[in-house]
Chain A
Amino acid sequence: MVELATRAATTDASQQAVAAVPNKLEVRNLTIRYGSDVALRDVSLSIREHEIFGIIGPANAGKTSFLKAINRMDVFTSGMRVEGEIHFAGRDTRHLNNVYALRSRIGVVFPLPVGLPMTVYDNVALSPRLRGINEKAELDVIVQRCLTRAALWDEVKDRLNALGSLLSGGQQQRLTIARALSQEPDLLMLDEFSIAVDPVTTMRIEDVLKELRQEVTIILVTNLVQQARRLADRTAFFLGGECVEIGVTEDLFTGEVKDQRTRDYVEGRFG
């Protein structure tokens, strides 16, 4: 009883806070096609500043396509067609003179770890260097901070000059996260980041994400519904290219759903 009341209170409080904060990302009538296949159909949603927004759903739900559309990866993906509007930080991303500037503000972590074929240090220093930071002392600070935050520093601090592509799968995934953080992004998009990471490390990264919420907005695409429950303020359920439901995460898990399919999915009764 008490717990319920507290939850209601926090929800109220967070909603009030939310009302004062502008939307980081607004998506209107987004449809994504690959040739004649529709990957995502008519999705509209808004993501608030400093929230962790979860996206759950089975394979082929259009989750990854959604992320790709946001940082305009469609430019280089042949056959991918995006219709609808995506407003990031108040700007319509379809009409930008400099799409690279947009991408540099959005950090992405792909499902399979990508340790670039350079040293661990250079992996993390790449983005700052692209921004024009070349001073060793400054880079050292950034590299250590990002690696620490990605829960990797202790493991690699003695071999920063080892090749990033030679780290283990889980370490490479954390290296990828460190690299995304080194962009100092406004928006961090994680696409099933825990696929190649052990549970202990996953929990450590989740803690980091909770802290990061103070600074960045996070979109968390995940296969693990419990991970969405642990982290996300609000969660959207995608299914077969359709956004079935968007709601406060806890509601989806306590059965306060508008659509039966959402309940079935979060309770694991789904083929």
Chain B
Amino acid sequence: MNTGTQALSNRATTAAVAGNFDRRNADWYVDKLIAGLVFVCGISAILFVLGIFFFVTREGIGFVFEKMDFREFFLTPYWSPSDAEDPEHGILALIAGTASVTGLAMLVAVPFSLGAAIYIAEFATGKTREALKVLVELLAAIPSVVWGFIGLVIMNPLLIKWFDVPVGLSVLNAGVILGLMAAPIMTSIAEDALKAVPDRYREAAEAMGATRWQVIYKVVLPAAKNGLLGGVLLGVGRGFGETMAVLMATGHAVNIPSSIFDSVRALTATIAAELGEAVVGGEHYQVLFTIGIFLFLITFIINLSADLIVRGIRKG
């Protein structure tokens, strides 16, 4: 008798419950609405990238197909695009400038920022740690023109004095400035990556008698390598794309450097400095946009290879 009524009431609730599975309530519609909104946001990011690519390509493509000599463009170091009689469009020296400055910057920034991140994440405690984190973030917020100013006004005379060179605006100057600029961001990302490694990994290794350095080297760094690599590649991207500080600290001279004390000129700085004086739609203007296309492709390749490397690591 008792079980009978219970079964009946159960059947009633069962039916009521089953009906609800089809009722699309407000929550369901809100969910769909939000899903649609974030979809639009996500898609718009792709649209913006395509739009920028389309614009840059449209401005520069005329030169690529009509007047560009690939051999001259990539393999000669002579850059005088505004010469009325015989303009020359070789960007080899500019590539060398960007590559040398970025390379030196990474030599400065990678060990420096990794060391800083390891100290902050693994060794520093309490107030030291908090203070360092705030300071690093403050450093990352310094505008690039201020860094350029430091290169121009402080580093320049120092380099002339120390190394007895005629000009202090050089690969060395720009590389150090760019390295110091990229280091805080790389430190911040690397520190996040190290902090994301669960403490139980450290405890498991420490319990076996591993020293702190052994724990860091054998367990923590391998576990964080994706994040660390991401940080480094972001730094490379930063160095590649940085314009103002590089413009001010390199000396802006078209030149394939034979030593770190030579002045150079970067791809980005060339666009920034010359776009204002080039006639819109003219050959000089188009060449600058062609450099833009080239920069775009390089960044794309860097990002893509970073992605592939990270994926490879994940599989392995």
Q: Does A101 contact B (CB under 8 A)?
A: yes
| A residues contacting the other copy or chain, number (CB 8 A) | 20
Partner of B22, one of A21, A90, A98: A98
Mask, A97-127, CB within 8 Å of B = 1, is 1111110010000000000000000000000
A237 to B261, CA, bound (A): 76
Q: Does B164 contact A (CB under 8 A)?
A: no
Contact assessment for B20 and A101 in the assembled complex, using a CB-CB cutoff below 8 Å: yes
Contact assessment for A89 and B27 in the assembled complex, using a CB-CB cutoff below 8 Å: no
Q: Which of A17, A49, A89, A102 is most buried by chain B, counting CB atoms within 10 A of its CB?
A: A89
A99 to B22, CA, bound (A): 8
Partner of A102, one of B4, B10, B15, B21: B21
Contact assessment for A96 and B21 in the assembled complex, using a CB-CB cutoff below 8 Å: yes
Contact assessment for A22 and B11 in the assembled complex, using a CB-CB cutoff below 8 Å: yes
Q: Does A186 contact B (CB under 8 A)?
A: yes
Contact assessment for A101 and B21 in the assembled complex, using a CB-CB cutoff below 8 Å: yes
Contacts of B31 in A (CB 8 A): 100
Q: Does A157 contact B (CB under 8 A)?
A: no
Q: Does B23 contact A (CB under 8 A)?
A: yes
Q: Does A159 contact B (CB under 8 A)?
A: no
Contacts of B10 in A (CB 8 A): 21-22, 49-50
Contact assessment for A17 and B23 in the assembled complex, using a CB-CB cutoff below 8 Å: no
Contact assessment for A97 and B17 in the assembled complex, using a CB-CB cutoff below 8 Å: no
- Rounded to whole Å, the gap between the CB of B215 and the closest CB of chain A is 23
Within 8 A of A (CB), among B1-56: 3-4, 7, 10-11, 13-15, 17-18, 20-25, 27-28, 31
Contact assessment for A89 and B22 in the assembled complex, using a CB-CB cutoff below 8 Å: no
Name A's interface SS.
Answer: loop
- Rounded to whole Å, the gap between the CB of A112 and the closest CB of chain B is 12
Q: Does A20 contact B (CB under 8 A)?
A: yes
- Rounded to whole Å, the gap between the CB of A59 and the closest CB of chain B is 21
Contact assessment for B21 and A97 in the assembled complex, using a CB-CB cutoff below 8 Å: yes
Mask, A2-42, CB within 8 Å of B = 1, is 00000000000000010011100000000000000000000
Contacts of A50 in B (CB 8 A): 10
Q: Which residue on chain B has the smallest CB distance to residue A97?
A: B22
| B residues contacting the other copy or chain, number (CB 8 A) | 19
Mask, B275-296, CB within 8 Å of A = 1, is 0000000000000000000000
- Rounded to whole Å, the gap between the CB of B34 and the closest CB of chain A is 13
Contact assessment for B17 and A186 in the assembled complex, using a CB-CB cutoff below 8 Å: yes
A186 to B7, CA, bound (A): 14
Contacts of A21 in B (CB 8 A): 7, 10
Q: Which of B15, B22, B31 is most buried by chain A, counting CB atoms within 10 A of its CB?
A: B22
- Rounded to whole Å, the gap between the CB of A94 and the closest CB of chain B is 11
Contacts of B22 in A (CB 8 A): 96-98
Q: Does A91 contact B (CB under 8 A)?
A: yes
Contact assessment for A89 and B23 in the assembled complex, using a CB-CB cutoff below 8 Å: no
Contact assessment for A91 and B21 in the assembled complex, using a CB-CB cutoff below 8 Å: yes
A17 to B10, CA, bound (A): 13
A162 to B316, CA, bound (A): 39
Known A-B contacts A90-B14, A90-B15; the reply to A97 vs B4 at CB < 8 A is no
Partner of A101, one of B7, B11, B23: B23
- Rounded to whole Å, the gap between the CB of A35 and the closest CB of chain B is 15
Q: Which residue on chain B has the smallest CB distance to residue A103?
A: B21
Contact assessment for A22 and B14 in the assembled complex, using a CB-CB cutoff below 8 Å: yes
Contact assessment for A20 and B4 in the assembled complex, using a CB-CB cutoff below 8 Å: yes
A97 to B28, CA, bound (A): 9
A101 to B26, CA, bound (A): 12
- Rounded to whole Å, the gap between the CB of A11 and the closest CB of chain B is 16
- Rounded to whole Å, the gap between the CB of B38 and the closest CB of chain A is 15
- Rounded to whole Å, the gap between the CB of B5 and the closest CB of chain A is 11
Contacts of B15 in A (CB 8 A): 90
A130 to B15, CA, bound (A): 22
Contacts of B14 in A (CB 8 A): 22, 49, 89-90, 186
Q: Which of A20, A102, A105 is most buried by chain B, counting CB atoms within 10 A of its CB?
A: A20
CB<8 Å pairs between A and B, sample of 19? A17-B3, A21-B7, A22-B11, A49-B10, A89-B18, A90-B14, A90-B15, A93-B21, A97-B22, A98-B20, A98-B23, A100-B28, A101-B21, A101-B23, A101-B25, A102-B21, A105-B20, A130-B27, A186-B17
Instruction: Please give me the 9 A-B residue pairs with the lowest Cβ-Cβ distance, nearest first.
Output: A97-B22, A96-B21, A91-B18, A89-B18, A89-B14, A20-B7, A101-B20, A101-B21, A89-B17
